[in-house]
Structure 1
Amino acid sequence: MNKADLIEHVADQLGGKVEATAALELILDTIIREVSNGGTVGITGFGTFEKVDRAPRTGRNPRTGAAVPIAGTCTPRFRPGTYFKTVVCEPQSLPDDRLAGARVSTHVTAGADGLAIEAKGGSVARQVGNFHQRKIGVKTVKRIFR
């Protein structure tokens, strides 16, 4: 699956290719900007994106065997989360009744008028900042994902 295929799949859930493209581009832009500034982006259950500095080292020219200095650099790294590793090895453990990446206490459904997110007790919540959650109504969630 490439980026265009991913957009097509998400467009089926969100109701339009424009919305799906904007959502995916916004997520990727946020991850790229945060990691390039030295930050870490951790998505619970999925994995962590981070910037890693590589020290200078000495390599070898495979043809001559001569020592070649390799300058230090930085590179992005992705470390998959435990849940992601588990479902890759055991695809039968993927849930049938909810999204694979959704939290256990969250049930996300896609309908003709957008997505609905239900947390424990039927309330609707979305994450704001790192740890703060505030409750919002189902109509607000549907409006966000239109």
Structure 2
Amino acid sequence: MKPNHLLETVMTKAELVSKIHEQSGLATKAQAEAALDALVNILTTAMKDGNSVTFTGFGSFKVIERAARKGRNPRTGMEINIPAGKAVKFTPGKALKDTVK
């Protein structure tokens, strides 16, 4: 039997657009999709520029620096060097944490 985290369902972009359309009052799904695309573009640009983005009660997105480190190739077990880089980190807000509990 698979662990619970592997049984999760995934909301697709089309399903998210439909939900935005239903709940926002936008006239068409095309407008809802344009709004979603704009949001993703704004978030991406902000983080690319090194800014954090915070939605009070939901959470925050920020870019973190990862140091170079050693790892292992899972197929061969050989040690590899993983270069330093950047990654996006999401920290959920209190309201989101409380809702998910």
Match of 1:37 in 2: 49
Distance across 2 between alignment mates of 1:20 and 1:29? 14
- State the Cα deviation string for residues 3-37 of structure 1 (Å, max 9, x = none): 11011121123221121111111111100110111
5 Å-filtered alignment, 1:1-146, equals 1-12=11-22, 13-62=25-74, 65-89=77-101
Q: Report the alpha carbon displacement of residue 60 of structure 1 after superposing the two structures with TM.
A: 2.9
Higher strand content, 1 or 2: 1
The gaps in structure 1 that reach 5 residues or longer are: 90-146
Q: What is the TM-score when the length of structure 1 is the normalising length?
A: 0.56
Distance across 1 between alignment mates of 2:67 and 2:13? 32
Q: How many residues align?
A: 89
Query: 2:53 corresponds to which letter in structure 1?
Result: V
Q: Which consecutive aligned stretches of 4+ in structure 1 deviate over 6 angstroms post-superposition?
A: none
3-state SS of paired residue (1:50): strand
Q: Report the alpha carbon displacement of residue 66 of structure 1 after superposing the two structures with TM.
A: 4.2
CA RMSD of aligned residues (A): 1.6
Q: What is the TM-score when the length of structure 2 is the normalising length?
A: 0.78
Higher relative contact order (CA 8 A, sep 6+): 2
Higher helix content, 1 or 2: 2
The gaps in structure 2 that reach 5 residues or longer are: 1-10
Distance across 2 between alignment mates of 1:73 and 1:54? 5
